[in-house]
Amino acid sequence: MMNRQDEKNLKKRYFIWLYKTAKETFDKYERKFTQVDIDQDILIEMEKELLGSYLPHEKDALQKHINDFQKYIEDKEKACSELRDQGKKTNPEFIFSEIKLDAVEKVITGELGRRGLEEIKSLYEEEMIGRILKNTEH
């Protein structure tokens, strides 16, 4: 027979797994749009730097890299739209991922309270940052 603490721990682990899988699915769509916004801001800053700081022969060589980065952003933006939006309607998988994440968050809040949800979100964020840092070490 399982005691109450064991049952609570099992539920919490399942909630962590549910949140992780739902959030990863949702982020698959959303992160690309966020990246495009950031990339566009970076491009603007790079173009400002290019305008004032370099000699004409340097600018020509640098402009090619700027143009390549701009093309990269445009391609990413197009891929984003195709992933999330299918023709004139939003991809049903994207809508489902958003609804599921919302439902998971509500159930976790109902069981573990707002603090429980915040703890799980924090654990997830730490894990994602850890993956990024570990992945870029090489």
pLDDT digits (tens, 9 = 90+) for 61-106: 788 888 999 999 999 988 887 777 766 677 888 889 999 999 999 9
Is-contact 22 121, C-beta < 8 A?
A: no
Does the residue 7 lie in any domain?
Answer: no
Does the residue 4 lie in any domain?
Answer: no
Neighbours of 127 (CB within 10 A): 12
Does the residue 40 lie in any domain?
Answer: yes
Distance CA 114, CA 125 (A): 16
Model confidence at 138: pLDDT above 60 = no
Does the residue 121 lie in any domain?
Answer: yes
Does the residue 120 lie in any domain?
Answer: yes
Does the residue 9 lie in any domain?
Answer: no
Distance CA 102, CA 75 (A): 30
pLDDT at 106: 98
More confident residue, 55 or 17: 17
Model confidence at 2: pLDDT above 80 = no
Reduce the DSSP state of residue 87 to 3 states and report it: coil
Q: What total number of domains does the chain contain?
A: 1
pLDDT at 137: 60
More confident residue, 2 or 136: 2
Does the residue 112 lie in any domain?
Answer: yes
Query: What residues make up the domain containing 31?
Result: 23-135
Neighbours of 65 (CB within 10 A): 11
Does the residue 73 lie in any domain?
Answer: yes
Query: How do residues 13-37 score in pLDDT, each as one tens digit?
Result: 999 999 999 999 999 888 888 899 9
pLDDT at 46: 86
